[in-house]
Amino acid sequence: MIKSSVLGYPRIGIDREWKKALEAFWSGKLEETEFHNQLQEIRLSHLRKQQEKGISLIPVNDFSYYDHMLDTATMFGLIPKRFSYIDGIVPLSVYYGIARGTKDATASEMTKWFNTNYHYIVPELDGASPVLTENRPLIAYREAKEKLGIEGKPVIVGPLTFLKLSKGYTLSEADAYLDKLLPLYVQILQELSIEGVEWVQIDEPILVTKLTEFEIQQLKKIYETFAASVPNLKIMLQTYFESIEHYSDIAALPVTGIGLDFVHGLNGNLTSIRALGFPADKVLGVGIIDGRGIWKAPLRAKLALLKELAEFVKPERLIIQSSCSLLHVPVTVEREKKLVAELKDALAFADEKLDELGLLVRGFLTDGADITDELEENDRAFQALKLLGERSEIQHAVAAISNQQQVRNQPFPQRNIVQQQKWQLPLLPTTTIGSFPQSAEVRKARQLWRKGDWNNEQYNDFIHGQIDIWIKLQEEIGLDVLVHGEFERTDMVEFFGEKLAGFAFTQNGWVQSYGSRCVKPPVIFGDVAFTGEMTVAETKYAQSRTKHPVKGMLTGPITILNWSFVREDISREQIAYQLAYALRQEVEALEQAGIGMIQVDEPAVREGLPLKEAEQANYLAWAVKAFRMTTCTVHDSTQIHTHMCYCEFHDMIGSIEEMDADVISIETSRSHGELVHSFEENTYKLGIGLGVYDIHSPRVPHVAEMTNMIDRALRVLDPKLFWINPDCGLKTRGFDETIDSLRNMVEATQIARAKYIK
């Protein structure tokens, strides 16, 4: 009998119960025992739902108290020394300290999970000797079996992926660390085998990236060791997000099954199977339902793909599953009551994807005969969606503009002289990234306005009051370039989508970004168009309240693209140009309103970079072009800023310079040393600010910490072009910690100025 499976299920709950429980525990409103009880109930409800939907192999241990990489690190006792951990099961105080920082210890680095908007906590090895603190997969398996009678499929991050995504070791130490980790993995697997577990899913997404011959040998060593140690355990070597590299080597590994992505890695994986076949003694995990997208699956095309794969793999050796964990999509479409029917009927969130798996199993077994009505309904949904939101005038305008050269009037050195004369800023100017704390009062005011309890005048008066407070605070703190605080904005992408044509918004389409931080990505379903000014009123008001320059704040086209769920009938490149054309009109409106500094944030450029090297240059070319299309029409005296979250700077420095922003700020505080090191090897000749403290942690950084960061950066960067700022927006932080942190940042700046002013 053909089986169905998913690789993981969203943690957050249908009403974000998970997020609420975490934040209640962190704030001291929920005791630890009750916290565990609440999370267990959430976890069991997710398993129960998959059981009721008829999923054959239900994943367990995919649930987390924060992040699955952090879970793996703490399971192996890999705790940074600054957290004073001794031994045994890692307490929650240490677990969350690693993720969020403590009063005395900085949090571990957080970075993107491959090319997604999910962030994981980077494990730190740094000479540590791993030990097994507890067998988490076994605990999860027992819970599912005892509470619900589910024979679960434990999920584990694989050794090669875990090692490659960790830090704190040199290449020469990689084998030594693998030798320390392997016995612990073997112990986990042996205990699972003794318990009677049939299938274990070992996630190795690193296999879709380019591997060295040394890493291929490590991979063989890992799975040969597993095969010898647990010969009766069925191991599904699971990959996702793209097609695998080194197909022949991976296909020859001694595992029971191999899971491949036939959505985002369709072309590469299908080409490999067509050319080389698939091992007759292995099970193929067919990742056919998109775990990252929100659109219904085109069922006829999916059935045709399954039929073709059945020519290479016996049907009983196929498992129909999601392409990756459903962590990356919202929970259910069922709660969406306000979407137009044509759009809602085309959507499939996590729960609907479970249903689609069942449909594909039935359809495959009966050659479509058992799901005739569903196939016809599926066809109608796509036809209706295609007619929704089409704007031929936008298509023509964007086609014309995208063929033009997108360049500023003068190169940066000439613009910089004009801007220095205009602004007269001090050495090492200080600023923030844009947002200030959104208090309960701010959120309540927005809710009252959205419900209609407040009219526009009442709400605008409230927003003006918040701007007044924070303009005054910024002046008192001593910042040089101010922001209005973004109190009118829920989310940096949603805010703009609500004001542009071609977007739709869900009521409950939340997904996890990092920790308890959830975002509700907009849905781009049609052609994007500018319909009127979006940010001018608030920015212009803020500028009227101070003599300091106030930055206009926009989210850039690539970030809006990468942080939205987007249509699939045209290319992402074309959507980016439509966004850029719309945002260009807002940039021009800000400049016409007298705003001479405009920040166009692009924190998500790096995460959109394709995993395949052969595709990266093309992506970066059109991403840069879209940014320049947004900003290139302003005067020389208008200073364009941008902001990026941490990236591997050395492999993007050329593209970042090509964006030609006058000032770029980069989120670096958790990995400041690594990024500064890249400047020792690469020059950067435009204005730049490296974030000097981590806004994702509630701790207030000391002046000395920030002074050290500034000094380190200025060893390789020109002080005349260097800006000082936090590493990201401050929306999620508290009032007092924000004020204290910024005061310390200004004090650190004053110390630095005393050193560098000559």
Token reading at 655: 């593209």
Distance CA 87, CA 102 (A): 19
Is 702 a residue of the active site?
A: no
Higher pLDDT, 110 or 669: 110
Would 345 be classed as within a structural domain? no
Could you tell me which residue, 650 or 38, shows the higher pLDDT? 38
Average pLDDT score over residue span 397-414:
93
Position 715 scores a pLDDT of: 86
CB atoms under 10 Å from CB of 138, counted, come to 19
**Residue environment code for 544-578, b if the CB has 16+ CB neighbours within 10 A, otherwise e:** ebbebbbbbbbbbbbbbbbbbbbbeeeebbbbbbb
Count of Cβ atoms closer than 10 Å to residue 221 Cβ:
16
Residue 667 marked as a ligand binder: yes
Which of the four pLDDT bands, split at 50, 70 and 90, describes residue 691?
A: confident
The answer on whether 48 is annotated among ligand-binding residues is no
Distance CA 285, CA 59 (A): 14
Query: Which amino acid, 602?
Result: E
If asked whether residues 549 and 468 sit together in one domain, one would say yes
Residue 457 to residues 188, 449, 464, 487, 490: CA-CA distances in angstroms? 61, 10, 10, 15, 19
- Helix-then-strand count for the chain, H and E: 27, 21
Q: What pLDDT does 674 receive?
A: 63
Alpha carbon separation from 375 to 53, 286, 596 (Å, rounded): 19, 20, 55
**Over the Cα atoms of the chain, what is R_g?**
26
The token duo for 564 is 């939205």
Residues 162 and 248 in one domain: yes
E strands within 625-670? Answer: 639-644, 663-666
CB-based contacts of 185: which residues, under 8 Å, 6+ apart? 156, 159, 222, 226
Q: What is the pLDDT of residue 669?
A: 61
Rounded CA-CA distance 10/630 in Å is 35
pLDDT at 671: 61
Is 77 within any annotated ligand binding site?
A: no
Question: Would the pLDDT of 678 be above 80?
Answer: no
**Same domain, residue pair 416 and 272:** no
The DSSP line for 664-724 is EEE--GGGHHHHHHHHHHS---SEEEE--S-TTS-SPPPHHHHHHHHHHHHTTS-GGGEEB
The answer to whether the annotation marks 308 as part of a ligand binding site is: no
Q: Are residues 291 and 417 in the same domain?
A: no
565/430 same-domain check? yes
Instruction: Give the per-residue pLDDT at 606.
Output: 85
Is the CB of residue 356 less than 8 Å from the CB of residue 289? Answer: yes
Query: Are 315 and 444 contained in the same domain?
Result: no
| Residue carrying structure tokens 């010898």 | 228
Residue 146 in this model has a pLDDT that exceeds 60? yes
Q: ∠ CA 203-206-207 to the nearest 5 degrees?
A: 90
Q: Which of 268-277, 362-371, 674-683 has the lowest mean pLDDT?
A: 674-683
Q: Domain check: are 304 and 396 in the same one? A: no
Residues 722, 685 contacting (CB under 8 angstroms): no
Spell out the residues 6+ positions from residue 226 whose beta carbon is closer than 8 angstroms to its own.
Answer: 185, 186, 189, 233, 235, 254, 255
> What CATH number is associated with residue 298?
3.20.20.210
Q: Provide the 10 A C-beta neighbour count for residue 54.
A: 13
- 155-159, 297-301, 533-537, 703-707 — which is least confidently predicted? 703-707
Whether 16 has a binding-site annotation, put simply, is: yes
Say yes or no: 132 and 59 in one domain. Answer: yes
Residue whose pair of structure tokens reads 């000559």 in the numeric block? 758
**pLDDT (mean) for 327-351:** 97
66 inside domain: yes
452 labelled binding-site residue: no
Give residue 410's pLDDT. 96
Does residue 371 lie within any of the structural domains? no
DSSP three-state, residue 322 = strand
pLDDT reported for residue 418: 97
Q: Verify that 310 and 421 share a domain, yes or no.
A: no
DSSP 426: P
* 53 carries a ligand binding annotation: no
- Does residue 455 belong to any structural domain of this protein? yes
Q: Is 175 exposed, middle or buried (0-12, 13-18, 19+ CB in 10 A)?
A: middle
- pLDDT tens readout for residues 7-21: 999 999 999 999 999
CA separation for the pair 659, 642 (Å, rounded): 9
Q: Tokens at residue 487, please? A: 């109190």
In terms of domains, do 298 and 445 share one? Answer: no
Q: Which strands form 565-566's sheet, in the order they lie side by side?
A: 500-504, 523-530, 565-566
Helix axes 536-544, 456-477, angle to 10 degrees: 50
At 267 the pLDDT is 96
In the chain, the number of structural domains is 2
In a domain, 280, yes or no: yes
Question: Residue 168: exposed, middle, or buried by beta-carbon count in 10 A (0-12, 13-18, 19+)?
Answer: middle
| The pairing of beta strand 639-644 with beta strand 283-289 | unpaired
In the 3-class helix/strand/coil scheme, how is 487-543 assigned residue by residue? CCCCCCCHHHHCCEEEEECCCCCCEEEECCEEECCCEEEEEEEECCCCCHHHHHHHH
The band of 692, judged by pLDDT with boundaries at 50, 70 and 90, is confident
- Is residue 344 one of the residues assigned to a domain? no
In percent, the amount of the chain with pLDDT more than 90 equals 84
Cα torsion for 96, 100, 102, 103, to the nearest 10°?
-150
pLDDT of residue 712: 86
What whole-number distance in Å separates Cα of residue 512 and Cα of residue 492? 16
Residue 341 within a domain: no
Say if residues 306 and 318 touch (Cβ distance below 8 Å). yes
Model confidence at 553, in pLDDT bands (50, 70, 90)?
very high
**348 located within any domain:** no
Handedness of CA 249, 252, 257, 263 (dihedral sign): positive
517 is in an annotated binding site: yes
Residue 466: is its pLDDT beyond 70? yes
Q: Reduced to 3 states, what is the DSSP secondary structure of residue 87?
A: coil
Out of 264, 328, 672, 696, pick the active-site residue.
696
Mean pLDDT of the region 404-420? 95
115 annotated among ligand-binding-site residues: no
Q: Is 477 annotated as a binding residue?
A: no
Confidence (pLDDT) at 576: 97
Structural domain that includes position 665: 392-402+412-756
Same-domain status, 164 and 71: yes
Residue 545 counted as an annotated binding residue: no
607 annotated as a binding-site residue? yes
pLDDT for position 716: 84
36 assigned to a ligand binding site: no
Q: Domain check: are 310 and 430 in the same one?
A: no
17 is in an annotated binding site: yes
pLDDT digits (tens, 9 = 90+) for 614-661: 999 999 999 999 999 999 999 999 999 999 875 566 677 888 899 999
Q: Which of 298, 328, 358 is the last residue of a domain?
A: 328
What's the pLDDT score for residue 694? 78
Short-list 128, 200, 207, 131, CA closest to 164: 207
d(C-alpha 37, C-alpha 33), whole Å: 6
pLDDT tens figures, 257-285:
999 999 999 999 999 999 999 999 999 99
CA atoms within a 13 Å half-sphere pointing along the CA-CB vector of 443: 7
Which residues have C-beta within 8 Å of that of residue 187, sequence separation ≥ 6?
Answer: 132, 135
Tokens matching residue 618? 């093309």
Residue where one domain finishes, among candidates 309, 328, 347:
328
Query: For the residues 724-735, what does the mean pLDDT come to?
Result: 88
For residue 503, pLDDT over 90 is answered with yes
For 100-121, what is each residue's pLDDT tens digit?
Answer: 999 889 999 998 899 998 999 9
Ligand-binding site membership of 19 (annotated): yes
Q: What angle do CA 294, 298, 300 make, to 5 degrees?
A: 160
- Residue 567 contacts residue 559 (beta carbons within 8 Å): no
Q: What is the pLDDT of residue 237?
A: 98
Rounded CA separation 109/102 (Å): 14
How far apart, in whole angstroms, are the C-alpha atoms of residue 14 and residue 330? 8
- The rounded mean pLDDT for the chain is 94
Q: Yes or no: say if 304 and 311 are a contact pair by the CB < 8 Å rule.
A: no
- The pLDDT-based confidence of 578 (bands split at 50, 70, 90) is very high
Domain end (from 281, 312, 328): 328
